Structure formats: C-alpha cells, structure tokens
Amino acid sequence: MHSNYNQGLIIGLCGRLGSGKEEVAQIISKYQGTECQVISITETMNMREFLGDSLKKMEEKQMDLDLSSYNTKQLEELEKLLKDTRDQHFHPHSTKQKLECSLTYNPRHQILYPITDKYELELLYQRNYFHLIAVEAPIIKRYENFMKKYQLNIPLDLFCIIDDVISDNISEFMHKAKVQIGNVGDQKDLLISFYKKYQDIFRPIRPNWNQYFMHLANVVKQRSNCMKRAVGVVIVKDNRIVATGYNGTPYGKQNCWEKGCDRCNQNTKQGVDLEKCFCFHAEESAILEIGTKKSKNMVMYTTLFPCLQCTKIILSTKIDKIYYEEDYDKSAAKSELHKYVKVEQIDSSHYVH
C-alpha cells in the first residue's frame, strides 16, 4: 500500500488479555506488506511461563481452580500469588532497549504490541509519529481466545483474576488511544473493523496549516466565559496569527457565567433574543483586535459557523476566507456569507495527536 510518510508511524497496540492484539498486528502488516514491520515487545514465552508457574503454585497450595467456594481472604491470597508470580516473569522496563531501537529513523511503519506499561508509553509518546490503538473484545470472547492460544482449560472466574493482574495498569492508559478496534465476531468481522478504521490508523502525523489553526481556535475557545456554548476564533495572515477571540462579556466586566449576561443565564434558545445578549461573539472579539482596515488577505478560523450579526461584521472587513468546524443552521447568515467570501468546513481532528 502506498504511503505518504517519510518517517513511518509507530503504532502501539494495547488491550486486555485475549482481545486479539496479535491478530490486529498481523492484519495491519499483511495489508501494508513490506512497508510495515511487526514487533512483539514481550514474548508469548513469558506468559506461558507465568501461567505454568501460577498453576503449579496453586496446586502446591491446594488451591482449587474453581473459585466459587473461595471467601474474600482466599481470593486476596490468590491475587497476591498471581501478582508475585507476575513480577517474577514480567519485568517493567525490560522492553526499554527494544523500544529505543524503534525510535531511530525508520521509513517503515512499526506495529508494537502489546503496550502494557505506562513508562513504555511515556517513552513512545515523546515522538509525534507514535499513536496508540486499543483492541477491545467482550470478556467471553477474550476468555475463549486466551484458552485457545495457551491451550488451557481454566474456569472463567480464574481467567478474570489473571486478566486483572496482568492488565493491572492498562485501564490507566487505554483511554489515551484515539482509535479503538472492536474484536467482537470472527476473523472476517475483525477485518471489517480494521477497514473501517483504516483512515484513522494511518492518519497524517502533522496537522496541516488549516487543522493547526482550527485546533488552536479550539484551544482559544476554552477561555470563553459564556453560559451558552463556547466558540473560538483565530485570524491569520501568511500563516501567522494576528488575533484570537472567544465569546463572553466585554473585557474586564462581570463574566457571563457570573451572571454578566441575563439572556445567556436564562438559557435562551440559540439565535433568540440576540439583541438582549451582553456577550461578544468570538468573531466580533477577534475582529475588534485587528480593526477592519488591516484585515486584507486575512483568513478566519472559527470553531462555529458565524451567525448573521457576525456575518455582517466579517463582511465589513477584508477577510477573504472563512474556515469553520461546526455547523450553525441559520440559512440567512449562510447565504450572505457564501455570497461574498470563500467558506469551507474542515475537520481538525484527523492527524496523529
């Protein structure tokens, strides 16, 4: 498959036991062919030894594999046994060297799995060509996969405890994965899941200029003090920022969410009673910064399509292109704006970070 990258991506796969990380790695590498290499960072060997050792210790201590009759104390004892055994077989940071090898220039994509340790993740996240994918599957499916892979026959509740012990700190970072691949059916379903996520898996490393400024507009909007929705604007000339703006009450006045505006505090419907509103819109606020005279060849990035009031103000400037992210359904503003300036909707999220 053709790729647009010079430096390849590093794709880390994380997921709980039996979720199918290895299958996903194989699918990706098969699809990408020689442009891709799969690197298993902890050996299946460790897991086999851990399992063998754990079951042996349980037998020695005459601990039943069936946990249904266990009391809390016995369950805690089992958990401790499994954790101690885990620490003997899986050493944190043992993969560091292997990971560091992956961080030198490599035009091929690298699929690293499984990512199990938050220190590994910290190291990898230093690079902006790394991203994390979570592989998820229902517990029964994971149980079946696990038993098949390790040729085991243990009860489901024992698997659950092993899963918790091995996946100990995984829940701390699973949510960092921007892409999830669901492994809920058979191999064919997994392939379909992969194809659906393909664009997200192999997304560009850097944001392009448009995504970059829209992303910044989304950061700017966090400063909004309006009770209603938050909007952010960045005005740019020759790819340099000349002004930013967000919505809220005039500078130095009581914030909207401190009852600075009655209309917003009554949760008035979008577009209704706008003449009673004491809040500036983000576009107005940013245009105030530059004035209308200096606005030649400037481009506006706004997180929300401008309202009619802002449209009028924008049209009095020389701003010649508007990029927006979220739509605002007011046809009057839309047709007027489209009549006079170039307007384009963009999605700022489609890049690695």
Count of C-beta atoms within a 10 Å radius of residue 27? 19
Applying CB under 5 A, which of residues 16, 142, 215, 281 lies at the interface with Zn ion? 281
| 117 or 283: CB nearest Zn ion | 283
Applying CB under 5 A, which of residues 277, 286, 304, 313 lies at the interface with Zn ion? 277
Classified as helix, coil or strand, 217 is helix
| 256 or 352: CB nearest Zn ion | 256
Tokens 């005039």 found at: 250
Applying CB under 5 A, which of residues 310, 319, 337, 352 lies at the interface with Zn ion? 310
- Give the binding range for Zn ion (CB under 5 A) out of 132-140, 171-179, 291-299, 305-313: 305-313
**Rg of the chain in Å (alpha carbons):** 27
Per DSSP bridges, beta strands 10-14 and 299-304 are unpaired
| 142 or 263: CB nearest Zn ion | 263
- Asked if residue 279 binds Zn ion (CB under 5 A), the reply is yes
CB of 331 to Zn ion, least distance (A): 15
Among 208, 186, 189, 209, which Cα is nearest to 197's? 189
Q: Which of 23, 120, 136, 283 is catalytic?
A: 283
| 202 or 324: CB nearest Zn ion | 324
CB of 181 to Zn ion, least distance (A): 40
Among 198, 146, 120, 126, which Cα is nearest to 21's? 146
Residues within window 219-238 making contact with Zn ion, judged by CB under 5 A:
226
Residues within window 237-266 making contact with Zn ion, judged by CB under 5 A:
256, 261, 263-264
CB of 235 to Zn ion, least distance (A): 15
Classified as helix, coil or strand, 90 is coil
Going by C-beta distance under 8 Å and a sequence separation of 6 or more, which residues neighbour residue 265? 227, 256, 257, 259
- Asked if residue 36 binds Zn ion (CB under 5 A), the reply is no
Q: In whole angstroms, give the CA distance from residue 220 to residue 236.
A: 14
The DSSP bridge partners found for residue 322 are 300, 343
Give the containing element (helix H, strand E) for 40. Answer: strand 36-40
Q: Is 283 part of the annotated catalytic residue set?
A: yes
| 110 or 244: CB nearest Zn ion | 244
Residues touching Zn ion, count (CB under 5 A):
10
Residue 46 CA from chain centroid, whole number: 30
Q: Return the active site residues.
A: 283
**Binding interface with Zn ion (CB under 5 A):** 226, 256, 261, 263-264, 277, 279, 281, 307, 310
